[in-house]
Structure 1
Amino acid sequence: MLSTKVEPHQLPSLGSFVRGKDVESGKWVYSLSARAVLDDSFANLTLKRNLEAGRVSAADVAPGVLVGRVSVADPDTVQDALAAAAEATRLWRSVPLSVRLEDWNRLLREAIHDNERELIDMLTLEGHPLELARWELSGMYELTRPETTGFLRSQLWQEFAIGARRNIVRRQPDGVVCVNPPANAPLVSALLGVTSIAGGNAVVLRAPRTAPFGVSSVLRNVIAPVLDELGAPPGLLNIVCGHPGPMLDAWIASEHVDDIMYFGDVGPGLKIERRCVEAGKKPILELAGNDIVLVWRDADLEGAADAIVEGFYGSGQLCMVPNRAIVHPAVADELIELVRVRATALKPGYPDEEGVLLSPVLRHDKFTRYLEDAVEKGATVVTGGKGMQIDGTLDEAGFFLQPTVLRVDGLSRAGELSAVADETFFPLMPIIVPHAAEDATLFDSFLEFVNASPYGLRNSLWARDDAVIDRFVAQTVKGGLLKVNDSHIAFTAPLPSHGGTGLTGGAFGEANFPVLRTTHLQGVSIIRPEHREGHDAHTR
């Protein structure tokens, strides 16, 4: 079981994890508790810098401030982790699929269940509100359900008897998969990345310097024991902490690396994609999302309002929450009022408190620019627009932002607003109300707007009319996931939890099951020797 309690002057310390062993470099990065940062960000972030520069000793830090520390990997350790992974995958890829998929998923699911309380604690220590942490963990449960396992099995191996031939279509592992999780959600992204092990791959994962302890401790204390129980070779899972730039450079240059799974912003992500392709490596990108909720005239407006307000979870700092909505003008006033009531009920607080869904937003300048841009171009502020302290007191210097709802009248020019065109990553929800028109024309414009988006993570629809639903499903080509009359963000097996097209997933983007994205198709035809005599090689 994990331990998240930090006793005075007894700071948990973790080295790099390579070949199943701790490797310390003598240099450390420190993880602070979210409460400490919220109580006094300037002092405690300064403390983190001083600790990492060696100007302050951890023994002198007050209890409750530090969660733990992780060793920074030196270049030799980074290279050894890659070599260890290459050695391990050569053994692991020959293990029967029943072991590395079915047994792995079953044991992984059990391990998550047995450590659920501790995993949630680690997520809140990263700053994720409790409800958000529970939602994030639900994604891992869905990813390891028997239904998902069965689907993945069907994709990884199929056999056909064609005359005397035993024909197999299977997916083979790419090899060494390097995972770069994002600073805003390192632990759950790391857990997603390591599921590529079921495809026969080995994993090298970078623990972000901003919050390395949760990733390092959970993968070491929850995931590594599952691999040990399966008899996996040492080196199948490696964890190294370091700056992203030099680490990515080392991965791209290494002869051992086959795939790089990168979570992050669009600009850097697309540059990584180009570098990977040039180096002959597969880029797997999880970048920005700018999701749309469509609300038709016959929709369940209460349900639709709930889905739209999911855009404020974590203060909008999640790629897969909705960023904008389009509503039929006949029900726009009612829907916007329902959203307003729900948005104003959301309150800031410490992440380990029940009922808190908002997270701190460290910089408000971009939010202010986007809000001012929207108002200048005709949008109306329905509610919000101000900064807050953790107790809800309005304060432009506070860490939190009020959930902010905008009304944007007219669809044709809505894309001129930065708050509509771009992923915002803060709690700002534009609700677009098209001008009145015939329903057929209106729905055409809805679909055109969705398919014209350069992003493609997920989109959702609220409607009762089967014909409207069928058109949405048949004609929406953008996105890794479509939801109809359902929570925009809920995970549900065996659907993919991540992945998408366009700016979300890059040129090779699609729905992301890491087990499938880190493998490749291969065909096999077998004729037994005793069946070979007299067999026409051209038999159809």
Structure 2
Amino acid sequence: MNEHRITVAGVAVDTRHWIGGERIASAGTFTDVSPIDGSALGEIARGGPAEAAAAVAAAKAAFPGWAATPRAERARILHAIADGVEKRIEELAIVETTDNGALLRSHRRGVMPRVAHNFRFFADWLLTLDHEDFGTRGHTNHVSWDPAGPCVLITPWNAPLMLATWKVAPALAAGNTVVLKPAEWSPLTASLLADIAAEAGLPAGVLNVVQGHGSEIGDALTSNPDVRRISFTGSVPTARRIAESAAANLTPLSLELGGKSPLLVFADTDLDLAVDLAVEQYDNAGQVCLAATRLLVEESVAEEFTRRFVDRATALKQGDPRDEATDIGPNIHSRQLEKIDGFVQRALASGARAVIGGHRGDGRYYAPTLLTDVRQDSEIVQEEVFGPVLTLQTFTDEDEAIRLANDTRFGLAATVATGSRERAERVTARLVAGTVWVNCFFVRDLQAPFGGSRLSGVGREGGTWSFDFYCDLKNTVTAPNGWKNHG
């Protein structure tokens, strides 16, 4: 029996780090626990400064060879990784559901296919990446994207593999090497990704995976002078610490942070569509950074909207995420559950009213909650809860709706429900958000820029924007008549 291998839902997972093409153990471990029932899944290698240094050194050593690999060959290997993901979709889905509690049906049908698509998209985009040459007083300007170097990618627990590969795929496509640090609450599919990448022929050291607590390994990764890019998805306080750590080396950062996004419901909308959009915000037990947790509803339709919303929301089935009939699973960790309940109880104590929910369920489940009678300056309206908790406020006209929508420190996303194209154009032009959806939600195309405004982030990734971040852009200017021969 391999002491460093656990079995999760019938799938073998190595619990060690993946550094320089080898499995590396640590002296210490941490316990990975399933949010479904609180059971211990296994002991995971707990990295620290030594493992961080080893992983960055491996990435640095592998960088020249991978950077010099022709684009077509890099793309071929990325497609091979996608092939490996597709062959193991069922295994990846059940392991991630067990590890982070998200719905198995979503992992099977949407999330894991998207993981494979992440690799295919950036492999294909790499082969088309180009900028037309342009002239300056007879001289020729040629723009190129040069690999930047080792990248540290720090990813969250709410969609572990999908969000990790959203960063890993473009970083590798660009010719960089990677040190991936998954969240300690959901580390298992990152380990499986290392296996898949190795089987696909990715050279040793090009992708490294180190596990551990951010407080113990994070600074050693982000302060390393050999790291040339850092991409992080997570909380604002952690982002501040990463930025401080990276500042000494002026390491470029891409930060996708929290949100407190609004859903604006105008009286001219299809009300059933608006209710569907609102109920969708409970997806993944509310653990979605893009979720429109602030429902802003035009006063004249607020009563009817609320009635229909309650009918729909109370029909949702909360339970085991492995059950195909389940709509809402557990929250990730007991600490997260405490945080969610703290927000709700403080709001209720301050005068908010729970239309539905407002309390815990069994285990790590929190009842889907809708709070009304909330003040705009209250904590529950201004701060990210990251749980199945929505607030409802009313407005009387467009100006008030936009004022309420923009009145937070965040600017990640916004959703607008209206039957008027003209109103949609007016309103979206005035909203502060990195992404705005009109009469839809969570439609994502990898060629679009993605990121947030204000405290919701720094920079944009997606399509060419990803390569702009993961590369050093170079402009080569050539004189027309400087050649001694024409051979």
Q: TM-score, normalised by structure 1?
A: 0.78
1:260 deviates by 2.0
Partner amino acid, structure 1, of 2:32: S
Structure 2 partner of 1:388: 361
Q: 1:522 to 1:475 in 2, by over 3 A?
A: farther
2:475 aligned residue (499, 523, 526):
523
Partner amino acid, structure 2, of 1:349: G
1:118 paired with 2:72, answer no
Partner amino acid, structure 1, of 2:434: G
Superposition map of 1:336-375 within 5 A: 336-361=306-331, 362-363=334-335, 364-375=337-348
Structure 2 partner of 1:405: 370
Residues 292 and 459, structure 1, Cα contact 8 Å, conserved in 2: yes
1:262 deviates by 2.3
The CA distance in 2 between the partners of 1:373 and 1:111, in whole Å, is: 47
1:501 deviates by 1.9
Q: 1:530 to 1:321 in 2, by over 3 A?
A: same
The CA distance in 1 between the partners of 2:266 and 2:295, in whole Å, is: 11
- Of residues 520-529 and 266-275 in structure 1, the stretch that sits farther from structure 2 once superposed is 520-529
Q: 1:454 to 1:6 in 2, by over 3 A?
A: closer
The CA distance in 1 between the partners of 2:385 and 2:49, in whole Å, is: 36
The CA distance in 1 between the partners of 2:446 and 2:317, in whole Å, is: 31
1:353 deviates by 1.2
Residues 85 and 204, structure 1, Cα contact 8 Å, conserved in 2: yes
1:326 deviates by 0.9
Residues 164 and 531, structure 1, Cα contact 8 Å, conserved in 2: no
Task: Give unpaired runs (5+ residues) of structure 1.
Answer: 49-65, 390-397, 437-441, 535-540
1:82 paired with 2:56, answer yes
Structure 2 partner of 1:445: 400
1:170 paired with 2:140, answer no
The DSSP-based 3-state class of the residue aligned with 1:294 is: strand
The DSSP-based 3-state class of the residue aligned with 2:288 is: coil
The CA distance in 1 between the partners of 2:222 and 2:470, in whole Å, is: 16
1:111 deviates by 3.0
The CA distance in 1 between the partners of 2:446 and 2:228, in whole Å, is: 28
Residues 502 and 509, structure 1, Cα contact 8 Å, conserved in 2: no
Residues 78 and 240, structure 1, Cα contact 8 Å, conserved in 2: yes
1:479 paired with 2:433, answer yes
Structure 1 partner of 2:131: 158
1:320 aligned residue (290, 297, 303):
290
2:443 aligned residue (486, 490, 503):
490
1:245 deviates by 2.1
Residues 292 and 460, structure 1, Cα contact 8 Å, conserved in 2: yes
The DSSP-based 3-state class of the residue aligned with 1:312 is: helix
Q: Deviations over 1:154-186 (max 9, x none)?
A: 6x4212253865432233222111122224443
1:503 paired with 2:468, answer no
Identity over aligned pairs, percent: 26
1:263 deviates by 2.6
- Of residues 354-363 and 289-298 in structure 1, the stretch that sits farther from structure 2 once superposed is 354-363
Q: Deviations over 1:231-269 (max 9, x none)?
A: x53211011222312322212332211122223221121
1:21 deviates by 1.6
1:200 deviates by 1.6
1:15 deviates by 2.7
The CA distance in 1 between the partners of 2:9 and 2:400, in whole Å, is: 59
1:247 paired with 2:222, answer no
Structure 2 partner of 1:63: none
1:335 paired with 2:305, answer yes
Superposition map of 1:447-466 within 5 A: 447-466=402-421
Superposition map of 1:255-334 within 5 A: 255-334=225-304
1:427 aligned residue (379, 385, 388):
388
Q: Give the count of matched residue pairs.
A: 473
Q: 1:79 to 1:378 in 2, by over 3 A?
A: closer
1:11 deviates by 7.1
1:206 paired with 2:181, answer yes
Q: 1:108 to 1:301 in 2, by over 3 A?
A: farther
1:115 deviates by 1.9
The DSSP-based 3-state class of the residue aligned with 1:430 is: strand
The DSSP-based 3-state class of the residue aligned with 1:85 is: helix
The DSSP-based 3-state class of the residue aligned with 2:132 is: strand
Structure 2 partner of 1:20: 21
Residues 252 and 279, structure 1, Cα contact 8 Å, conserved in 2: no
Residues 262 and 284, structure 1, Cα contact 8 Å, conserved in 2: yes
The CA distance in 2 between the partners of 1:472 and 1:418, in whole Å, is: 25
Residues 6 and 12, structure 2, Cα contact 8 Å, conserved in 1: no
Q: 1:159 to 1:79 in 2, by over 3 A?
A: same
Residues 142 and 491, structure 1, Cα contact 8 Å, conserved in 2: no
Partner amino acid, structure 1, of 2:323: E
Structure 2 partner of 1:59: none
Partner amino acid, structure 1, of 2:393: I
Partner amino acid, structure 1, of 2:89: E
Structure 2 partner of 1:136: 111
The DSSP-based 3-state class of the residue aligned with 2:293 is: strand
CA-based RMSD of the aligned residues comes to 3.1
The CA distance in 1 between the partners of 2:241 and 2:273, in whole Å, is: 39
Residues 264 and 401, structure 2, Cα contact 8 Å, conserved in 1: yes
Q: Deviations over 1:346-380 (max 9, x none)?
A: 22222211122323242555444433444455543
Residues 132 and 357, structure 1, Cα contact 8 Å, conserved in 2: no
1:144 deviates by 4.8
The CA distance in 2 between the partners of 1:174 and 1:94, in whole Å, is: 12
The DSSP-based 3-state class of the residue aligned with 1:448 is: helix
The DSSP-based 3-state class of the residue aligned with 2:54 is: helix
Q: 1:139 to 1:307 in 2, by over 3 A?
A: farther
Q: 1:493 to 1:298 in 2, by over 3 A?
A: farther
The CA distance in 2 between the partners of 1:369 and 1:207, in whole Å, is: 27
Q: 1:445 to 1:150 in 2, by over 3 A?
A: farther
The DSSP-based 3-state class of the residue aligned with 2:112 is: helix
Q: 1:34 to 1:445 in 2, by over 3 A?
A: closer
The DSSP-based 3-state class of the residue aligned with 1:178 is: strand
Q: TM-score, normalised by structure 2?
A: 0.86
Residues 82 and 256, structure 1, Cα contact 8 Å, conserved in 2: yes
Structure 2 partner of 1:52: none
1:7 deviates by 9.3
